[in-house]
Amino acid sequence: MVQVSLSTLKTLLFTLGPLALPKLIGYYRTYQARARSKPIAVRPLPANVYTPLNILFVSCVFALIATLNNFAYENIFIATSSRLQTPNDVLFNRLSHIRPQETLSEADLLLKPRIASIEARLLYLTYGPSILTYCPWCLSDEPLTYFYYAFPMLLLPHILHLCALGLATSSGIAGKEGNRWRTSAVMIGIGLAFSECYLTVTHDWKANARVFRAEDLNHFHWNMRIWRGIGIGVADAALAGLLWASSTNRMFVIPPTSAERMEAATKVLENARGRLGALSVVRNVVVRDEGLRRQGEGYWRREGQIMSEAMDQREVVEGVRNALESGRISVTKVEEEARRFADGVIGGSTGALQSNST
C-alpha cells in the first residue's frame, strides 16, 4: 500500500485547506440562499426510495464483511511468522505443521516451486497467492504479466458494486429521486475501480526486498483488500445519505419546472372538475327522485327549525347583542364580505353572460 506520512497529510491540509474552505463555505451559503428563496417543505421518505436504500445497505454490509480475514486468502508469511528471506524448504516445513495431519495441500504443492525466488515472493505479497499459484504464463522477469492475469479479479468486485449502484439509481426501482444520482454513482464506482488498478500497477513491489523483519513487511494484496471494502462501504453509505436527503427535500432540492407545476395544477383542476361533475349528477338524482327530494326538503325544514330555536334562546340573544354593542362584530363588515363572496362566485358568470348578450 502507498505509505503516506502524517507530516505529508499536514502539509496537504495546510496547503489546500485555505483554498478549499472558502469555496465550501461559498457553496453552502449559495445553497442556503437558494433554499430560502424557494422554500420547499420537507416530506416523508417516498415509498420507492426504500428499495434502493436497502440495496445500498446490503452492498455496504457485504463490502465490510469481505474485509474480514475469514474471507481472505491465507498469507503463508504471516501464518508461519517467516521473513521474506526464509529458505523455501524451511518455509513450507513450517507451513506443513499448521496444516491438518501436517500435510501440505495441493495448492501448497503448486505454490512451493513458484515462490522459490525473492522476486516471486515480492510478487506474492503484491498480487496474492492465487495469482502466483494458478497463472500458467506469468514470469517473475515480467511483473506486468501478473497484473494482466489479476486484472479481471481486480475488476470483479467493482463490477458487482457498479451493478448494485445501477440498481439503486435506476428509474424503474428508485424513480426520479434515485435516477438523478445515477451519473454520480457510476463515476464513483468507476473511480474506485480505476484507483485500485492504478495503485496496484504503480506499486513499488520491490520495496519489501529491503525489509528484514517479518512484522515490517508490506502485505499490499491483503491491505488493498481491506481498503477496497472500506471504500465501497463508504461510497454506498454516502450515496444512501444523498438519496435520503434529496428525496425528503432536506438538501439538494431541485425546484419543479414550470411545465411540472402546470401539469400538477392541471391535475388538481381536473380532479376538482370531476368531483363537481359527480356532485351535479347526485344533485340531479336527488331533485328528480320524489322520495329523495322529500328527504332533502324535510332536512332543510328541520335545520331551519333547529337554528330558529337556537337563535331564540336567551343566552344566544344576549351573546349576539353584546357582540354587536361591543363592536366585536360589525354588521357592515359582514355584509361587505358577503357581497364580495357573492360577486366572486357569480361575478364571472354574470360578466360572461353580459358579453355574450352584447
Query: How would DSSP label each residue in 150-164?
Result: HHHHHHHHHHHHHHH
Residue 58 has pLDDT above 80, yes or no: yes
Percent of the chain with pLDDT over 70: 86
When pLDDT is cut at 50, 70 and 90, the band that residue 146 belongs to is very high
At 160-204, the pLDDT tens digits run 999 999 999 998 888 888 888 899 899 999 999 999 999 999 888
> In the predicted model, is pLDDT for residue 335 greater than 60?
yes
pLDDT above 50 for 352: no
Q: pLDDT grade, residue 46 (50/70/90)? A: confident
Q: What percent of the chain lies above the pLDDT cut of 90?
A: 27
Does this model's pTM top 0.85? no
pLDDT score at 206: 87
- CA–CA distance, 331 with 351 (Å, rounded to integer): 28
Question: In the predicted model, what is the mean pLDDT of residues 288-298?
Answer: 81
- Let me know: does 311 contact 317? Beta carbons within 8 Å: yes
Q: Give the whole-angstrom CA distance, residue 354 versus residue 349.
A: 9
Check pLDDT > 90 for residue 147.
Answer: yes
Output the nine-digit C-alpha cell for 114: 513458484
CB 233 within 8 A of CB 151: no
Q: How far apart are CA 147 and CA 159, in angstroms?
A: 18
Alpha-carbon Rg for the chain, nearest whole angstrom, is 38
Which has more confidence, 42 or 195?
195
Quote the CA–CA distance of 153 and 158 in Å, as a whole number. Answer: 9
Whether 225 contacts 74, CB under 8 Å: no
Considering 33-37, 43-47, 252-256, the range whose residues carry the highest mean pLDDT is 43-47
Which are the contacts of 155, defined by CB distance < 8 A and separation ≥ 6? 193, 197
- The residue type of 325 is E
Cell of 173: 426501482
Mean pLDDT (whole number) for 107-123: 89
Average model confidence (pLDDT) for the chain? 83
3-state secondary structure of 142: strand
